[in-house]
Structure 1
Amino acid sequence: MLLLAVLMWHFRPVRSAAPALQQAILLSAPLSLGAFRLQDQYGQRVQATDLQGRWHLLSYGYTYCPDVCPLTLAKLAYLQQQLAQYTEYPQLDLLFYSIDPGRDSTTELARYLQHFAADIRGLRPDPQAATLALPFEQALSLRFSIEDEQSGTADYAVAHGISLYLLNPEARLQAVFFPANRPGMAVPEFDVDILQADYLAIRRYLATQAD
């Protein structure tokens, strides 16, 4: 019996090592986003249960953003097209969270996002329950600041980070992607090829852990 136990331990299944990622961090345990409630660009309420069952990649910003947001969304739309060829994985859905609900109405979000991909889902704090967006923002550690939106003018400054957040089919945070900051770049940017490689590496690794 002792010999059998030793042999069984020696030939036990070995889980593969965590993937080598270029611009992403894979969480050792998926993180809950809390009991949040948001609103999409069609005025529908969005909770964690509404994001379950699919993989999502979320970016955040605001529709008045002059450079980072439109560039990132264009690259994510292209990434989504590129991933369509990998039939072993369900299609990746895209989310965009507005940190500027004062200007980004549902109508404005819908108008803005249609320029990038027809199926990007826009999210914003629900005006009827704005505090219920806080668990979502805090769980993701969204970094942003808004100048003075109460000044009476629509021309106020907004600053924000550029991370991307991968949500698994349980609507939990699975990984975070960071842009490249190379010499000569005005702002950090994402490389679609690297995003694709890291995303596929994560999906393949997690598939081995589920076996």
Structure 2
Amino acid sequence: MMNFANMGQRLVRASLMLVLASALASCGGPAEAPPARPPLEGARIGGPFTLVDQDGNSVSDTDFAGKYRLLYFGYSFCPDICPIDLQKLMRGLTQFEKAAPERGAKIQPLFVTVDPARDTPEALKPFVARYHPRLLGLTGTPEQIAAAAKAFVVTYNKVEGSAPDRYLMAHSQLAFLMDPEGKPLALLPLDDPSTDADEGTPDAVAAELEKWVK
């Protein structure tokens, strides 16, 4: 289902990593390595948004001020990729919460739908509850979703199915970690054929959270 979207998401990842690589290459090679900097530091990702959560409450980006945000775009009717990604992300978060409870509590996990027509608050509520007790499911008008996706360089499009209500949504497969000010820190590891076999696991997600959440 997601195959023809893979090229776009890999290009996004490659572009983000190229920016980082160029910045590092322009520096001289010091005898002692400098402290690691967040891979997405300075990237133009994220921004203001106003959406609706699974309880029907209006939610904006300012509601998460002071919190790290683990953010993933997908949809609840996704037959395979989204459930697998969410399972790994939320298991990784749970693992990190157990190892570092105080820092884990600083992270707010967010699931933003790219299918607002079907993902009403009522549909999102049981869906997000399967993965983590603090996972917020966010929906909104098509215009609100489009604005949020654009801010996070996420692309998506409708793929018609055998019936009007049996369509799929092709979308970028990206998970972001944002800092307490809403600025991007890193992409969290998800399965990708071009990556090493040990990436895209709950352990890898927990390790990335350990690295950047203070």
Alignment of 1:26-45 (within 5 A): 26-29=39-42, 31=44, 33-45=46-58
Question: For structure 1, which runs of at least 5 residues remain unmatched after alignment?
Answer: 1-13, 20-24, 184-188
Asked whether the equivalents of residues 61 and 98 of structure 1 are also in contact (C-alpha less than 8 Å), the reply is yes
After TM superposition, the runs of 4+ consecutive aligned structure 1 residues lying more than 4 A away are none
Asked whether the equivalents of residues 35 and 135 of structure 1 are also in contact (C-alpha less than 8 Å), the reply is no
Query: Over aligned residue pairs, what C-alpha RMSD do you find?
Result: 2.9
Please tell me the residue identity of whatever aligns with 1:147.
V
Equivalent residue for 1:4?
none
Partners of 2:75 and 2:151 in 1: CA distance: 19
Question: For structure 2, which runs of at least 5 residues remain unmatched after alignment?
Answer: 1-31
Q: Secondary structure at the match of 1:38?
A: strand
Q: Secondary structure at the match of 2:72?
A: strand
Asked whether the equivalents of residues 33 and 48 of structure 1 are also in contact (C-alpha less than 8 Å), the reply is no
Asked whether the equivalents of residues 145 and 159 of structure 1 are also in contact (C-alpha less than 8 Å), the reply is yes
Please say if 1:68 is aligned against 2:68. no
TM-score by length of 2: 0.72
Please say if 1:124 is aligned against 2:139. yes
Asked whether the equivalents of residues 34 and 135 of structure 1 are also in contact (C-alpha less than 8 Å), the reply is no
Cα deviation, residue 87, structure 1? 4.0
User: Which structure has the larger Rg?
Assistant: 1
Equivalent residue for 1:201?
211
Q: Which has the higher helix share?
A: 2
Partners of 1:179 and 1:32 in 2: CA distance: 18
State the aligned residue count.
Answer: 179
Distance change in 2, residues 1:120/1:65 (3 Å): same
Please tell me the residue identity of whatever aligns with 2:176.
Y
Asked whether the equivalents of residues 70 and 110 of structure 2 are also in contact (C-alpha less than 8 Å), the reply is yes
Equivalent residue for 1:140?
152
Instruction: Choose which of 64, 78, 95 in structure 2 pairs with 1:82.
Output: 95
Please say if 1:111 is aligned against 2:123. no
Partners of 1:66 and 1:135 in 2: CA distance: 25
Cα deviation, residue 105, structure 1? 0.8
Cα deviation, residue 32, structure 1? 6.1
Partners of 1:88 and 1:26 in 2: CA distance: 24
Alignment of 1:5-44 (within 5 A): 16-18=34-36, 26-29=39-42, 31=44, 33-44=46-57
Instruction: Choose which of 146, 149, 158 in structure 1 pairs with 2:169.
Output: 158
Identity of aligned residues (%): 27
Partners of 1:148 and 1:37 in 2: CA distance: 28
Q: Secondary structure at the match of 1:66?
A: coil
Partners of 2:154 and 2:86 in 1: CA distance: 17
Q: Secondary structure at the match of 2:42?
A: strand
Asked whether the equivalents of residues 41 and 121 of structure 1 are also in contact (C-alpha less than 8 Å), the reply is yes
Cα deviation, residue 53, structure 1? 1.7
Please tell me the residue identity of whatever aligns with 2:153.
S
Partners of 2:183 and 2:87 in 1: CA distance: 25
TM-score by length of 1: 0.73
